[in-house]
Structure 1
Amino acid sequence: MSAELLRLRKWPVLWVLLGIGLTLDVLFGYVFDYLSYRTGSRPVSEDAPLLAGLLPAGVPVTTVEGMPMFGGAILLILGALAAGSGYGWGTWKTVLTTAPSRLRAFTGLLGALGAVVAGLVAAMFAVNFACAFAIAAAESSSFDLPPLADLARAAGGALLMHSMWASCGVLLGIVARGPALAVGLGMVWTLAVENLLRGTGNVLAPVAAVADLLPGTAAGSLAGALGAVPFADNGTPGVLSTLDGSAAALLLSGWTVVFTLLAGLLLTRRDVM
């Protein structure tokens, strides 16, 4: 794990992806909504909820509402690059033939990615609180903090969603034995296939039953259960109300375990190259 953390820390791609993730979070969570609030011509009754979501009390919901769309894509790309690049560089060949065991090498990668995921979630909450306090000061509004229970639920949900997508990326990177194909497959699945299946499920019940169990459905439903407004109700793209919070969290945990076990099985049983 120490070696993997060193590799990731000195890898420019990691910092580029984290920077993109934080930038998108701020832009879609605060900048665009605040500009809409300041320049819009809506009635005061419609502007009040918009401003409330930009204040410190709204940080838990604002943080998780963007994760089903761009947050998941960023972590999937990171997982695919972290696992798949080792084949192109030849580092997996060295690690797997010199480490005490392949399983130990794999758990080291998972531990390093888990640390990155936790760091990203913490950074997102810190940046969002900074933005929220700045807006509250500019608008002379409330500085009240969210309830600790709401903040803990949002942080737990964020960790669960990001961990699931990162483990999915790791599996794709190991399956494809390279980063390019893994990233491409992940983007096609998250941005096209899942949306097509959910659309088809509106007219075909059997397809709907399958679509309700997809990773993206679970992530979007968890965000909706944590307070984000579903896209069907003129809310955030990717947010759904298909599953309740408990079912979504359980399904996300299941997908994380499945992706991790499959990735570990492939890495430990297949030929090195």
Structure 2
Amino acid sequence: MIATIKAEWRKSRLRPGFLIGAGVIAGVTILVYAANWYLALHPLATRGGDRAIVSLATLYPDQFVNNVMGAAFPIGAAMAIVLGALFAGSEYGWGTVKTMFTQRPGRLTVWAGRMFVFGVWMLIMTFVLFGVGAATSVVVALFQGHAITGPAAVDLAKGIGAIWLVFMVNGSIGLALGVLIRQPAAALGIGLTYVLAVEIIAVRIINLINNGQFKNVTEQFVNQNATALTQSFTSPAFGVISPPTISAEHAVLVLAAWGIGLTIVAAGLLRLRDVT
């Protein structure tokens, strides 16, 4: 297992897809902060000038954990799907799957090592998100002459764990599709279509049936729970916000179940199917 992890890390540590993904996450985080900072300082640009739709208090370091959630989802989740599809599907296009599976260790060991390395990359992207968010919030505080105080350590840990889980589950969608379809382009296309369109349409249709009688079904979808989990990170600085109908605890359990289930399905396909 250790040798497999080392080999996978050696292959992926300079892989352009992961480096570009981390760069996109950093860029989106800066863009979100810049846009919100502008809106907070220029109320005339919004709502006819009666008041700003973004409060400066939400951009300071003590609120950065709550603020980066908007950058992490859905754009970060979509990026995780793309990286998962590339990570799993590209090996088939390169023809390296045969080489991996005809040598030791076994298929499941190889898959476990690949999942571990992918999880590390999702953690790196999470750290990039939070690191850039923290740095940008400090810049805002310095320019506004505000005291620099960080969030509580427990809130920071919860935020990192939540975003890593969201990234991993969406990445697992890409991984499973990459293994199923055996090519990255179709896998990432189907994954993005599902997350950005199919799931949204399905949720709306199900909620219309018998005045929402089957709403509990929609509460088991991946990104319904990802949305609820990210929205659970808020504070009075963001104003009065309606709490999500799905609890954070429920969201964590459902997302974990999806991630584990997709990983097992992909492992089963690798174990049982011919690689040719």
TM-score by length of 1: 0.90
CA distances 1:116-160 after superposition (whole Å, capped 9, x unpaired): 111111111111111000000000113111111111111111111
Aligned residue for 1:225?
232
Distance 1:19 1:34 in 2: 21
Structure 2 residue aligned with 1:170, among 168, 175, 191? 175
Contact 2:207–2:213 under 8 Å retained in 1: no
The aligned amino acid for 2:229 is L
The aligned amino acid for 1:115 is V
Q: How many residues align?
A: 266
Aligned residue for 2:67?
62
The 3-state SS of whatever aligns with 2:208 is coil
Aligned residue for 2:77?
72
Contact 1:68–1:216 under 8 Å retained in 2: no
Distance 1:249 1:135 in 2: 32
Distance 1:158 1:171 in 2: 20
Aligned residue for 1:52?
57
Aligned residue for 2:124?
119
Segments of structure 1 that go 5 or more residues without pairing to the other structure are: none
The answer as to 2:136 corresponding to 1:103 is no
The 3-state SS of whatever aligns with 1:158 is helix
What are the within-5 Å matches in structure 2 for residues 253-264 of structure 1? 253-264=256-267
Segments of structure 2 that go 5 or more residues without pairing to the other structure are: none
Question: CA 1:167 to 1:241, structure 2 compared with 1: closer, same or farther past 3 Å?
Answer: same
The 3-state SS of whatever aligns with 2:251 is helix
Contact 2:43–2:50 under 8 Å retained in 1: no
What are the within-5 Å matches in structure 2 for residues 17-36 of structure 1? 17-28=21-32, 30-36=33-39
Moved more, 246-255 or 46-55: 46-55
The answer as to 2:16 corresponding to 1:12 is yes
The 3-state SS of whatever aligns with 1:100 is coil
State the identity %. 27
Distance 2:130 2:217 in 1: 33
Contact 1:197–1:208 under 8 Å retained in 2: no
Moved more, 11-20 or 243-252: 11-20
Contact 2:119–2:168 under 8 Å retained in 1: yes
Distance 1:240 1:194 in 2: 21
CA distances 1:196-218 after superposition (whole Å, capped 9, x unpaired): 12222331136533322110111
The aligned amino acid for 1:26 is I
Question: CA 1:87 to 1:240, structure 2 compared with 1: closer, same or farther past 3 Å?
Answer: farther
The answer as to 2:204 corresponding to 1:199 is yes
**CA-CA distance at 1:45 after TM superposition:** 9.4
CA distances 1:55-102 after superposition (whole Å, capped 9, x unpaired): 001111112233231011001110110000000001111101112200
Contact 1:121–1:158 under 8 Å retained in 2: yes
The 3-state SS of whatever aligns with 2:145 is coil
Moved more, 171-180 or 200-209: 200-209
**CA-CA distance at 1:16 after TM superposition:** 1.4
Question: CA 1:49 to 1:149, structure 2 compared with 1: closer, same or farther past 3 Å?
Answer: farther
Distance 1:206 1:107 in 2: 40
Aligned residue for 2:185?
180
The aligned amino acid for 2:130 is F
Distance 2:149 2:51 in 1: 21
The 3-state SS of whatever aligns with 1:142 is coil
Question: CA 1:66 to 1:162, structure 2 compared with 1: closer, same or farther past 3 Å?
Answer: same
Question: CA 1:142 to 1:45, structure 2 compared with 1: closer, same or farther past 3 Å?
Answer: farther
TM-score by length of 2: 0.89
CA distances 1:162-184 after superposition (whole Å, capped 9, x unpaired): 11111111101001101011001
Distance 1:120 1:240 in 2: 27
CA distances 1:26-45 after superposition (whole Å, capped 9, x unpaired): 212x0110111222226999
Question: CA 1:228 to 1:156, structure 2 compared with 1: closer, same or farther past 3 Å?
Answer: farther
Contact 1:217–1:242 under 8 Å retained in 2: no
The aligned amino acid for 1:38 is L
Contact 1:62–1:228 under 8 Å retained in 2: no
Question: CA 1:208 to 1:142, structure 2 compared with 1: closer, same or farther past 3 Å?
Answer: same
Distance 1:85 1:271 in 2: 17
Distance 1:242 1:201 in 2: 16
